[in-house]
Amino acid sequence: MPLSELPAPDQNWALFLDVDGTLVEIAATPSAVRITPRVVAMLRHLMDAFGNAVALVSGRSIGVIDQLFEPLRLPVAGLHGLEVRDAKGDLYPAANEGDCLEEIRAALTQYAHAFPGVLLEDKGATLALHYRQAPEQADAARALVSDLLSQQSNYHFLEGKMVLEVKPANVHKGRAVERLLTEPPFAGRLPVYVGDDVTDEDGFTTVNRLGGHSIRVGMEGASAATRRVESVPVLLDWLASLPDAILAKAKPRGSKPA
């Protein structure tokens, strides 16, 4: 269903926004991503319009997200929800997983060094193996990660857009959304989740179950999202329009501009 058929925005919404592929185009490497001043200003306006009930939900760490969106310090679920900062600013860091990832980390590091264009993004508690610059390595990378995780019940991997995300099996973005919804200013609001990739499907499924709205950026591939938007620029235009739409909705009929 297209985004145009979504009900009019309501100030009782709570927004949960993925970052890469949603608020910004996916770059050749994670470090190449830059958040524009327009997006920072837009997020400020959304925070005002929705009573601060706006959170970022990302596979990136909270530290990296803060660098990207500086000077903003929004509520965030980082590393797919493994770490959370709530609206009060309280940080709940990722639990120490000990040496569980060491064997996987070592093998993927060796693999990335052996094949130019393959990049291992080491996030500490999670790993991401990127092959965007070496697409011919897709099958080999998938086979390697699958083999490494075949004996690991505590970890699994998700296949995103030219990336393989290795993370704890019991952690996902949907649970992060549910956690934030238990606390002000998110509690009691209608959740709206926007994402673009396989790692966002748990978020879509969760807000669907809660009666909210799920929006996927991009028209390709199957998804649990109930709405689609063509591209990042189209989504940003829609998000930027929400504060004015809420203001117009709140005005009594027949009222004139001051």
pLDDT at 73 over 60: yes
What digits encode the pLDDT tens for the residues 83-138? 999 999 999 988 655 567 888 999 999 999 999 999 999 998 899 999 999 999 99
Average pLDDT for 131-149: 96
Q: What pLDDT score does 99 carry?
A: 62
Average pLDDT for 137-151: 94
pLDDT at 148 over 70: yes
Order of all β-strands in the sheet with 127-130: 119-122, 127-130, 163-168, 155-159
What are the chain's domains? Answer: 3-94+171-250 (3.40.50.1000), 102-168 (3.30.70.1020)
User: Is 18 an active-site residue?
Assistant: yes
Q: What pLDDT score does 119 carry?
A: 97
Q: What pLDDT score does 16 carry?
A: 98
Q: Is this prediction's pTM over 0.75?
A: yes
Average pLDDT, the chain: 92
- Residue 221 banded pLDDT, cuts 50, 70, 90: confident
List the catalytic residue out of 18, 20, 196, 202.
18
